């Protein structure tokens, strides 16, 4: 009841032909609050509370206006207004924002003729029994008719029956729901494909990082092995010479696993002797 009263007061104050367009924001809500308190004397709502509540109602009714416009664009012969409201509710829920269903129908009845909430259909031409209701490309004057006087009169298509209209209504509703579900499935497929590509990229980056790390490790090992093999032990003690001899043997054993050739084996056998 308070929401309906708020809409009525807002419409009365903001669309006043004398002062509505020239009223400042502060004075507008001050007057709306005064009119609201006259309608509901026991209300404790402040000007700020009314302004916040109207902001929410305005947003929801604007979404409902757009949803009705989309539903009207899909309206065809054989469909009733109940089906149109169901489609509008589906569009309203699909736009997000948290609410899945529009419930402020009493408020909408108050403001629906306001210029801000006027529904302007933008869809294709509405037809009745497969015959356009109005062809904007032709004139209504019989003088401008393209038919000549001796042309045969073409019969208008026969209106479809009640059962056919119901079947067509069910078919249109089913097609709309199918397209809606197909769009959801397509978006999910695109999301999954993008997620798979991201995972593949992460795996490729990790593999490249591992290869680079292994390459640097081998390069460091090769530098260490070269230094070991080039070590001058002539001035060292017998114990130190024995240590570096074992180190060189380890180097050669690693080389044998990497490049198992006869020259390496012969060289190692000669060292053992």
Kindly indicate the confidence band of residue 163, based on its pLDDT and cuts at 50, 70 and 90. low
Q: What is the DSSP string of the chain?
A: -HHHHHHHHHHHHHT-TTTTTT--HHHHHHHHHHHHHHHSTT----HHHHHHHHHHHHHHHHHHHHHHHHHHHT--TT--HHHHHHHHHHHHHHT-SS--S---HHHHHHHTTSGGG-----SSPPEETTEES--TTS-SSGGG-S--TTSPPPPPPPPP-HHHHHHHHHHHHHHHHHHHHHHHHHHHHHHHHHHHHHHHHHHHHHHHHHHHHHHHHHHHHHHHHHHHHT---TTS-HHHHHHHHHHHHHHHHHHHHHS--HHHHHHHHHHH-
Residue 75's nearest CA partner among 113, 117, 123 is 123
Q: How confident is the model at residue 180 (pLDDT cuts 50, 70, 90)?
A: confident
pLDDT in tens, 75-108: 654 555 657 778 778 878 877 666 778 888 889 8
* Of the candidate ranges 57-61, 239-243, 263-267, the one whose mean pLDDT is the lowest: 263-267
Lowest-pLDDT range, 53-62, 144-153, 195-204?
144-153
Query: What's this model's pTM, rounded to 2 decimal places?
Result: 0.42
For residue 16, is pLDDT > 60?
yes
Q: How does pLDDT run across 231-247, given as a tens digit for each residue?
A: 888 888 999 989 999 99
pLDDT of residue 26: 72
The answer to whether residue 154 scores a pLDDT higher than 50 is no
Q: What is the reported pLDDT for 85?
A: 78
Least confident of 18-27, 212-221, 222-231: 18-27
**Percent of the chain whose pLDDT exceeds 70:** 68
Mean pLDDT of 102-126: 78
Q: What is the mean pLDDT of residues 122-128?
A: 51
């Amino acid at each position: 009841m308070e929401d309906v009263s708020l809409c009525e007061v807002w419409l009365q104050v903001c669309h006043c032909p004398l002062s509505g367009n020239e009223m400042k924001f502060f004075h507008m809500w001050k007057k709306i609050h005064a009119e609201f308190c006259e309608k509901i004397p026991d209300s404790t709502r402040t000007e700020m509370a009314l302004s916040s509540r109207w902001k929410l109602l305005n947003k929801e009714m604007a979404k409902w206006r757009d949803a009705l416009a989309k539903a009207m664009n899909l309206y065809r012969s054989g469909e009733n207004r109940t089906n149109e409201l169901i489609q509008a509710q589906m569009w309203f829920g699909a736009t997000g924002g948290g609410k899945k269903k529009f419930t402020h129908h009493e408020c909408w009845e108050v403001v629906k003729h306001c210029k801000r909430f006027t529904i302007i259909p933008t869809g294709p031409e509405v037809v009745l029994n497969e015959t356009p209701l109005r062809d904007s490309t032709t004139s209504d004057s019989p003088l401008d008719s393209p038919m000549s006087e001796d042309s045969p009169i073409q019969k208008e298509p026969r209106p479809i029956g009640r059962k056919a209209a119901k079947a067509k209504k069910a078919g249109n509703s089913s097609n709309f729901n199918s397209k809606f579900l197909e769009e959801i499935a397509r978006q999910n497929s695109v999301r999954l494909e993008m997620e798979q590509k991201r995972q593949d990229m992460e795996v490729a980056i990790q593999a490249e990082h591992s290869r680079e790390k292994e390459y640097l490790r081998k390069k460091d090992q090769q530098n260490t092995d070269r230094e070991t093999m080039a070590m001058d032990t002539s001035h060292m003690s017998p114990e130190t010479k024995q240590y570096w001899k074992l180190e060189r043997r380890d180097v050669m054993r690693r080389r044998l696993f990497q490049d198992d050739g006869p020259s390496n084996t012969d060289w190692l056998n000669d060292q053992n002797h």
